[in-house]
Every structure is written in structure tokens, then in C-alpha cells.
Amino acid sequence: MASTNDLKNGMVLNIDGQLWTVIEFQHVKPGKGPAFVRTKLKNVTSGKTLDKTFNAGVKVDTANVDKRTMQYLYNDGSDYIFMDGDTYDQISVSPDVVGDAAKYLLENQDALVARHDGNVLFIELPASVVLEITYTEPGLQGDRSTGGTKPATVETGAEIQVPLFLETGTKIKVDTRDGSYLGRVN
């Protein structure tokens, strides 16, 4: 149990038997009436968001979530296998839980794995990853101007939009949250 005054971003709450992550919160003290806490919550399993208001100082049930950095080893055909770097324990995570993170997941890459009661809740990748372009149409002479983009397939199989001048074999930095191109890596 914790008080609504102790809320922090990333904290996981147990509300009516469902797990919700605090995305953002704001303490509000109006001139008239009691203080309250306005929160934006995200359901851990379904991903839907909810705006909820709590009275200040009210007790909320927190969920004990174990977040560990684990190394992604391989995909065994159905599940993704991760290894704890401290204990060398391996866990398998279903594709439903991995979700869109699979587009940017390379073997031997570290990811944050959140677990509650032995069940994996979600996988969190670093904000950006470096991937190599495995295929893109060649750029034409004169395509060096700003603004134009073309589709490129990266080594994980994901397709992202890149500037026209990039070629196959170029290493690029990709934002894992929205799949946008961030720049070239030498």
C-alpha cells in the first residue's frame, strides 16, 4: 500500500484486480476544497489508457513488479528467450507480451523485463537502437536534398522510413517507441 502523495511515473498500481502503470500524475490544490491527484494510467496487459482522479492522501494498492535488465538470446520459433545476467536463469516470453518491441530486438541485446508473480508483464527496450539497413532502393544522383524519404528494411525485418541518400549496409539509429529514423552511426 502507498499513498497517492507517493505516486511516481512507472509505478504499478493494482486497481480492481488489474495492473496499471502510472504514465503521468499531477498534484492539484484548488483554492477551494480538498487537494487531489490527477493521473494518467496505462493498463499493463491491454495497453489502454485511463484518466483517473484520486483524493490526496488516499491509500492505493501497489503491485510488486520486478524490473530487471535481461539479455535477449533468441527466438525458439514460438517464444522469445531472455536470460538474467546475474543468475543465468532463462525465461521464455510470448510474442503477445513482446509486441512491437520484436521489430527492434537483436540477439544479445539488453532489455528491461518487468515481472509480477512470475508472469512477464512487458518488455521495455532502450529509447534507441542501432540497426543495419539490409535492403533499400538505391538513391539516384541528385537525391541529396532534404525532406525526401524512402522505405528501408533493417536487420530485424522492420521497415522504416529513411532519407533518400542512405544505402544498404548503412548503420542507423532508430527510435524504439515510434520506429522513426534518428541518424546515421559510423
Residue 176 CA: distances (Å) to CA of 18, 76, 100: 26, 23, 9
Do 56 and 70 fall into the same domain? no
| Residue 141: CA count within 13 A, CB half-sphere | 0
Mean of pLDDT values over 56-83: 91
Residue 145 and residue 158 in one domain: yes
Dist CA 11 CA 63 (whole Å): 8
pLDDT of residue 142: 61
Average pLDDT over residues 142-160: 81
The CATH number for 86's domain is 2.40.50.140
Domain boundaries, position 79: 66-124
**Mean pLDDT over all residues of the chain?**
89
Do 19 and 12 touch, CB atoms closer than 8 A?
Answer: yes
Query: How much is the pTM?
Result: 0.73
Same domain, 118 and 132: no
Residues 6-21 have pLDDT tens digits of 898 888 899 988 999 8
CATH number at residue 7: 2.30.30.30
Q: Are residues 51 and 75 in the same domain?
A: no
Please state the rounded mean pLDDT for residues 155-175. 91
| Integer Cα distance of 81 and 94 in angstroms | 9
Number of domains in the chain: 3
| Statement: residue 84 has pLDDT above 80 | yes
Same domain, 107 and 147: no
Looking at residue 113, the DSSP 8-state letter turns out to be: E
What is the reported pLDDT for 100?
A: 86
**Is-contact 82 97, C-beta < 8 A?**
no
Closest CA to 174 of 73, 166, 49: 166
Do 112 and 155 lie in a common domain?
Answer: no
pLDDT, mean of residues 72-89? 92
Query: Is 103 strand, coil or helix?
Result: helix
Residue 45, pLDDT > 70, answer yes
Percent share of the chain, pLDDT over 70: 96
Do 70 and 120 have their domain in common?
A: yes
Q: What pLDDT, in 10s, does the model give residues 110-145?
A: 999 989 888 888 888 999 999 999 999 887 666 555
Final residue in a domain of this structure, among 104, 124, 144:
124
Of 27, 60, 93, which residue sits at a domain end?
A: 60
Of the chain, the end-to-end C-alpha distance in Å amounts to: 49
Q: Give 125's contacts (C-beta < 8 A, 6+ positions apart).
A: 101, 104, 105, 109, 111, 112, 176
Residue with C-alpha cell 529509447? 127
